[in-house]
Structure 1
Amino acid sequence: MPDLSAFAITRRWPAAHPGRLQLYSLPTPNGVKVSIMLEEIGLPYEPHLVDITRNESWTPEFLSLNPNGKIPAIIDPDGPGGAPLGLFESGAILVYLADKTGKLMPADPARRYETLQWVFFQMAAVGPMFGQVGYFHKFAGREIADKRPLERYRDESRRLLGVLETRLDGRPWIMGDDYSIADISLLGWVRNLIGFYGARELVAFDTLSRVPAWLERGLARPAVQRGLEIPKRT
């Protein structure tokens, strides 16, 4: 049985099944990337809910695994060379799990890098911009009298949705016929933008055709439906 005692996070969130991959997360747009991925690839794992509304990601135990204090994070008891590996950053975790299992990442080197560029597109552009729309449209930022910040992030989010709309021309998925980690990285954020953030009209989502159809296809996948609810909120 793997020994995970060297990871301080296991003292706050003990592993009932230390032989399984340990997931520390919450069903946010970033968190569900990893739970969806794990459901898609069928790798056994044990989820632990880290309640960011109670600042649990800023506890010493969580910070010992991710010093940036953000979910998700994982411990793989069977990491490279058979040694346990702790990992944070959702994009890095997606790539790691794809490489570990040989799933949802093209084997061809050129297509692999093409897939990675879309994952990086999500990490560098979509996540930060959509998140700012959420802040200025739904949360405390909406009380700011100066609406220029909201307008800036609204316009950039519209532009990014346009990039996706163009990419999906003639393609069911970001990489064509092959569903991949590129889709997984984006699904939760697009869903959140028009759902939880309530920005559907703000970003003119219904003027698009390919992105809504892609989102519908993605959300219809059973693994996606399961992953969106993991870890279960208490």
Structure 2
Amino acid sequence: MKNVIQDTDCRGFIPHGVMAEWDLVRRFGRDMMQVVKRMFFAVQKPEAVRRSLDIILKKSQDEATLLLGGTTALFAGGEDATPEDSIAMAGYLMHFLGGGPKNLEFTAIISPSHIQNFFISNLGMLCKGHSTLRSAAINLDKIVKTSEKRFIDLFRSYRVHLSPNGLEEELQTLLHTPNNICLVLWQGWLGMLAYYNSCRVRRLGIEATEEWVQFVLAQDSYLLPVRC
């Protein structure tokens, strides 16, 4: 998956300014996840989604259940889970990955392949759930492009104000129609991916001055700089 930063055979130099941008992305992704989690846990409609979330919360007293038994372990029906169940699980999983400092530490060290599976499977659940709630077929390409544009616009606003308040205000406008809950959760999952990638850049990169990066380039060295 091209949107997940993969493992590399070596580390690379990253200029201070570029690393600062990635640090901002990490902060934005963290705040996005926590804003979406807070909003999702507060929703009362759609009622079927709320009921499913309440069931999950009751069954997840020990969050290790999620890791040991798999996501369907929180449902009595397992594979018979409804689209509303899947929406609730997608929201709960996002909480599990980004709900607090320990959760975030865990997320930062997950392998790229696992993050890829989490991301693809949960966005698939959200697409199916959104179609069910809207009682209509959806244009997946349109949803993807619209959601990505919304995410980028929110980031541009965030970098000006450096506050999560604007994120919640904007996402609340989507919930004027409760059946848009999947679009809100989608933003949370994009935030998770942004957070994960920025953590990998911080771990794989070697922060350096611009002068050093230019020196390495001039030497045509095997120590290649990373341009992100």
Q: Same fold (TM over 0.5)?
A: no
Higher helix share: 2
Q: TM-score, normalised by structure 1?
A: 0.30
Higher strand share: 1
Q: TM-score, normalised by structure 2?
A: 0.31
